[in-house]
Structure 1
Amino acid sequence: MKTIFIAEPGSRLYCRRGGVYIATRDGRKIAITPDVDQIIIASSRVGISAKAIRYLAREGIDVVILDVNGYPIARLYMPYINKTVATRVGQYEKILSGLGIEIAKELIYSKIMNQAQLLKYLAKSSREEWLRDLGYEVEAIATDLYSAKDLDRDRIMGFEAHASRKYWQAIASLIPENLGFRGRDPDSLDPFNMALNYGYGILYSVCEKALVLAGLDPYLGVLHVAKSGRPSLTLDFVEMFRPIAIDKPLVIESKRLKIDVVGNRLDYESRKRIAEIVLSNLSAKYRCSKIDRSMSLEEHIRREAWDLAKFFREGSVYKGFRVYL
C-alpha cells in the first residue's frame, strides 16, 4: 500500500484536468498517482477542495486526518463495503453472547508473545543476556495467560499489565537519555513517549481501515469497554501489532532519531520523521506463525482483519498475529 503523508503547513490538495495534486507552500507540485492507496493529513493548516474529495472518494483512496498527537479523528471512506451485514450481525451476536472473551484472550496473548519476541530480537543485537532472559520472562506470562481458565476482562488485562511492566522496563534501558524516556506513559511529554503516541495513531488508522473493509464494526470491541465515539474493536485489534509495527522501528532508530517538541507538541518535521519510519516498517516483510511466507506488515494486518471477520461470520477458529523475528 502506498501512503502519502502531508504535514507541511500551507499545503493544499486540489483537482485539475482529471487528477489530484498537492501544492506545497514553497511551490512544489506533487501528483497523486494511481498507485496511491492512502493520504494522511497531519496538519490543521492543510487545505483540500471539495472536488478533490469527490475524486479521491470515487477512486477509493483513503483520506485520514490526524490530530496533533497522531490520533485519527476523521477519514473518508467509500460509501459501500462488501460483506458488512452478515459479518456485523455475527460480531454483535458473538460479543453479546460472551464469546468475545476468547478473542480478547487471543489478541492479548499475541501481543505479549510479540513483546517477548522483540526483547529477544533486541538482545541479539545488543548482546545483553539479561534482555534475552527478560524476553523469556515475558513469554512465560503469555504462556500462563494461554493456559488460564475462566478468564474475564479484568484477569486478561492483569496479565497484560504484568507483561507490560517488564517489557517497558527493558525498553526504557535502551533509549538514549536525551529522549527522556523512563517508561511508557501516554500522558508524558517526553519526546519518546510522544513519538510512540504518534506512531500508534498512524497504526490505528491502518487497523481501522482493515477492520471496516473486512465488514466489521470498529466501535464494538471485545476488551476495551464500548463507549460512544470510541473505536473499541480498533483499540483491541491494534494491540498485537504495537510491538512490531511501532515499538521495534522507533527503538531501533532511537539513537539517530531527532525529535523536537514545541509547546508540548511534536513539531511538523518530527511528525514527518516518525511517519516515515512507521510507514517504511509497515511495508517491510515479516513472517508469522500462521503462514510460512513473508508478507508486508500491512498485508498481515489486512489478513488478520479478514480472519477475525470470518470468525464472527462463520465461527471458524481465530489465531492472532504472532511474529517470527
Structure 2
Amino acid sequence: MLLFLTTYGSYLHTSDGLITVEIGKDKAVKQISPKKVESIFISTGAALSTDLIQLCYDNNIDIVFMDKYGNPTSRVWHSKLGSTALIRKKQIEASVGETGAKYAKLFISRKFENQKEWMERLIKTRPHHAAIIGKMIETLADARKKLDETAGAIEDIRETLLGIEGSAGRAYFRTISALLPDAFQFEERSRNPAKDEFNAILNYMYGILYGVVEKACILAGIDPFVGIMHTDNYNKKSFVFDAMEMVRIYADESAVYLFSNRKLGKTQFQTIENGVLIGDEAKKIVIEHFISFLDESIRYRGRNISRRHTVLLELRHLANEWLEGEAKIIDKIDIEEL
C-alpha cells in the first residue's frame, strides 16, 4: 500500500516495530505494519523520527515529500540502485540514434493506444457524446499513423514526435473537457498553479504517478536521468517523464470519474492569484479514490497485477530487451509480491 500523510501537524514514528502515525492536532493514533507499506507520501507540515527512517530503510520503504501541487520534491530511501549497472550502460546506448527513435515512438504509441481504448469504452457509456468521442478516436488513429511514418534518428525527429504528441494531446483534452459537467470544463492544460479545478486534480494525480514511476525505474535498474524522448537537462529525471506516458491514462480516467460523478465541488478548492489549489478535503477524496484505483488488480500481459505495478513490469521487460544476449536476471523478482 501507499501511505499518504496530508494532515498538518502529524507525527510519524515507530512503536513496537510498527509505523505509528499521530494525526493532526488531535493526535489520533494509527499503526501499520511496515510489511504492508511500499511508500510514504508526505504533502504537508509533518515531523518524523530517525527511528522511523531506519525502519523504512530496513523494509525498503521510500519516503516521498510533495509540494502543494502534488509534485514530488525529494525522496528518502536507500542509496542502492536496482539490479546491474549493465542495464544503465545499455540504456545510454539505446537512447540515441534510430534505436532512441524506436523507444520514443514506443512510449508515445502506448499513450495513444491507452487513450484510444478508453475512448472506445466511453463511447459505449456516453452515447450523447458519441460524435465528439468518435472524432477523438479518429484523431488518435491519424496521430498513430503519422507516428509510424516518421523515421530517422531521435536527434533528428524528436521535435516532430513531440509535435505529433502535442497536437493529439490538445484535441484529447478538449474532448475530456466536453465530457465534464459544465461548471468544471476548462480551456487548456495548465500547471503550477493550475488555472481550474480539473487541472489541479490531474496535476496532483500525475505527481503521485511520478513518484510511483521513479521508484519503478530504480527497482528495474533504469537510470531516471537518462531520457530518450525527453531531453536530458541538469537534474531533470527525463526518463521518468518518458515512462510516465505509459500510465498517465490512470490519472486521466480517475480525474474524469471524480468530476463526472460529482465527488468534488467548487467549495473544495481554493482560489489563488493566477490559479486554483486543492483543499484538504478534496485531497483526501482524490488520494482515497486514486490509490484504490491503482491498487486494483487487472489482467495485464497474461498475469494478474495491480495497475500501480504495470509500469514496473513494462520497465523490467524493457531492461531485459536492453540486456539481449546477456544473463536475464530481472524476472526472478515477483512483481505481485512487491
TM over 0.5: yes
Give the aligned partner of residue 323 of structure 1.
Answer: none
Give the aligned partner of residue 121 of structure 2.
Answer: 121
* Residue 247 (structure 1) aligned with residue 252 (structure 2): yes
Deviates most, 210-219 or 143-152: 143-152
Give the aligned partner of residue 21 of structure 1.
Answer: 20
Give the aligned partner of residue 210 of structure 2.
Answer: 204
Give the aligned partner of residue 319 of structure 1.
Answer: none
Unaligned runs of at least 5 residues, structure 2: 327-338
CA distance in 2, matches of 1:294, 1:140: 32
Tell whether the 8 Å contact from 1:84 to 1:216 is kept in structure 2 after alignment. Answer: no
SS where residue 229 of structure 2 aligns?
Answer: coil
Tell whether the 8 Å contact from 1:91 to 1:313 is kept in structure 2 after alignment. Answer: no
CA distance in 2, matches of 1:84, 1:229: 22
Q: CA deviation at 1:121?
A: 1.5
* Residue 141 (structure 1) aligned with residue 137 (structure 2): no
* Residue 301 (structure 1) aligned with residue 311 (structure 2): yes
Deviates most, 212-221 or 89-98: 89-98
Give the aligned partner of residue 86 of structure 1.
Answer: 86
SS where residue 21 of structure 1 aligns?
Answer: strand
Give the counterpart letter for 1:285 in structure 2. S
Tell whether the 8 Å contact from 2:109 to 2:144 is kept in structure 1 after alignment. Answer: yes
Give the aligned partner of residue 241 of structure 2.
Answer: 235
Give the aligned partner of residue 270 of structure 2.
Answer: 261
State the Cα deviation string for residues 119-170 of structure 1 (Å, max 9, x = none). Answer: 2211111113211342233123213312432261011112111211221111
Give the aligned partner of residue 50 of structure 1.
Answer: 50
SS where residue 234 of structure 2 aligns?
Answer: coil
Tell whether the 8 Å contact from 2:178 to 2:185 is kept in structure 1 after alignment. Answer: no
Give the aligned partner of residue 320 of structure 1.
Answer: none
Tell whether the 8 Å contact from 2:98 to 2:152 is kept in structure 1 after alignment. Answer: no
SS where residue 304 of structure 1 aligns?
Answer: helix
Q: CA deviation at 1:236?
A: 0.8
The count of aligned residue pairs is: 311
Residue 226 of structure 2: which of 191, 199, 220 is its match?
220
Give the aligned partner of residue 40 of structure 2.
Answer: 39
SS where residue 217 of structure 1 aligns?
Answer: coil
CA distance in 2, matches of 1:140, 1:150: 20
Residue 161 of structure 2: which of 131, 140, 156 is its match?
156
Aligned in 2, Cα 1:66/1:99: closer, same or farther, shift over 3 Å? same
The normalised TM-score by structure 1 is 0.89
CA distance in 2, matches of 1:97, 1:315: 21
Higher relative contact order (CA 8 A, sep 6+): 1
Give the counterpart letter for 2:247 in structure 1. F
Unaligned runs of at least 5 residues, structure 1: 317-325
Deviates most, 245-254 or 76-85: 76-85
SS where residue 14 of structure 2 aligns?
Answer: strand
State the Cα deviation string for residues 11-62 of structure 1 (Å, max 9, x = none). Answer: 110123333200012231111212111111111x111111111111111112
CA distance in 2, matches of 1:70, 1:146: 34
CA distance in 2, matches of 1:226, 1:107: 17
The normalised TM-score by structure 2 is 0.86
Tell whether the 8 Å contact from 1:14 to 1:21 is kept in structure 2 after alignment. Answer: yes
Q: CA deviation at 1:96?
A: 4.3
Give the aligned partner of residue 197 of structure 2.
Answer: 191
The two structures, once aligned, show a CA RMSD in angstroms of: 2.0
Give the aligned partner of residue 271 of structure 1.
Answer: 283
SS where residue 138 of structure 1 aligns?
Answer: helix
Give the aligned partner of residue 104 of structure 1.
Answer: 104
Q: CA deviation at 1:298?
A: 1.5
SS where residue 86 of structure 1 aligns?
Answer: helix
Deviates most, 182-191 or 86-95: 182-191
Q: CA deviation at 1:304?
A: 0.8
Deviates most, 15-24 or 255-264: 255-264
